[in-house]
Chain A
Amino acid sequence: MPGLDSRAPGLSGTRAELDDALLSARAREGDEEAFAALVRRHAPTLLGLANRILGDPAEAEDAVQDAFVSAWRRLPEFRGDAAFLTWMYRIVTNRCLNRLRSRRPMTDLDALPEPAAPLQEGSPARAAESNAALADLTAALAELSPEQRACWVLRELHLLSYEEIAEAVGIGPAAVRGRIFRARRFLTEAMSEWR
């Protein structure tokens, strides 16, 4: 089970972090090929995050693309005291929440697009029951507030710490804790029929 105990699912901890540190130092100094390597490496993880927060694959692609372009522009100020991926989590989360905020005035929740990219995408061999449960989880996630959803996804699916989530979402760690608790309570109730 690679990735379960690592901060960045699919990567192998130290090695990836070291490579990221070297590559982001190069990219900061204008090496676009190093930046391309970082984009290739992290785009799938960040696209997964954006998909789950936005519930719309096309919009998620736009958000992640914007986030990487913004990262390239801001790299000269990137101090490297946070890991590159943590920094990207922050930029992507921010982009996604801004998109949700800007579309709120014209929609209520019922008008939000149904999540088009259920969590089980890419795993055709799963049992139907498990697929149905995961689809239900995706649907339940869509009912959380954007901040609750972002906090919960960053914590439970991307394994970020409360402090990292607080920075990514732009609220305090206590507020993060509260949002995750309420999200978890809502989701346990929504999913209790699968017990």
Chain B
Amino acid sequence: MKYVDEYRNGDLASQLSAKIHHLANAERSYRFMEFCGGHTHAIFRYGIPDLLPSNVRMIHGPGCPVCVLPMSRLNQAIELAQNKQVILCSYGDMMRVPGSRKMTLLKARAEGADVRMVYSCSDALQIAKDNPKKEVVFFAIGFETTTPPTALIIKQAAAQQVGNFSVFCNHLLTPSAITSILESADIRAMGALMLDGFIGPAHVSTVIGSQPYEYFAREYHRPVVIAGFEPLDLLQAIAMLIQQVNDGRAEVENEFARAVTREGNRKAKKHVADVFELRKEFEWRGLGLVPYSALRINKSYKAFDAENRFNLTTTRTTENRACECPAIIRGVKTPRDCSLFAIGCTPENPIGSCMVSSEGACAAYYSYGRHYEQNND
């Protein structure tokens, strides 16, 4: 397949792998966090750990929007779906994530709720037009990648006066989450030992550009290399990070120059600014309350805000105490350090956030990486 196979070439991979082995200083270790779930998935799917020296380790960050959505918000989505007046439209991978009492959107559907899986928010708007007697709610989740389409669809709904359409907004902001990780007490306590650099998100960066990361590089003295989602992108970015660490540099470099600019996509950012405003704080599953880390629909488009249109219940939810997800997404622990991993917590029966989607660190490790331990037995 053109423009894809080029970035999955095995020969180039072994050349890059050799380069990384050559660059990596055997006297020290390198710990890099890929923020984004798309990168986590690619790392395991292509077997990238096999191509890295043992002193270069990847830490899997919190960048899976499905994983970090707090259970209380999911409970509200399920509550919306159970409203007989409502058709709830959701992206596919949200459907089987368990909320309180192991309820999922799939189970709600089996019990009679009208839940539709959509590929794009424009499908949800179409469903609203086709079902004028129903309230159609789009369950919007995602980082900066999925936010502009949601903004556009709200504008379209307003322009076309689709009165029965609204959005349950759960859009998140990447830079705030990275700050939260770097500022967290356990990371600071461990100091420079924990993270030597970041792989910056691919699709998110096409929208926000590389500029927002300059702050981290400067303030925390950590290099950031923005990388595409293909496996060769990742290897190249890892080589660039090692080079920066070796040189004592902490800069923002852009491996994904074929899609990312410093400014990002101005049009997309404008749509987002027109429709959304910052929330003072928002709960991230695994990270807790993170200030200014999420968006809500602003006053001009209030009519399309499902939180405004429906009286949603706020539930108190608690996580399993043995679950190590908070430490895992900060890079302090690995899935294997969790006593629940692969025993009480599996993709079929996820307990913690990192297991609920295939892009979560624990689920990716479970589905693609369990053989690593076997080989090391």
A and B, one complex? no
Residue ranges of A at the interface with B (Cβ–Cβ < 8 Å): none
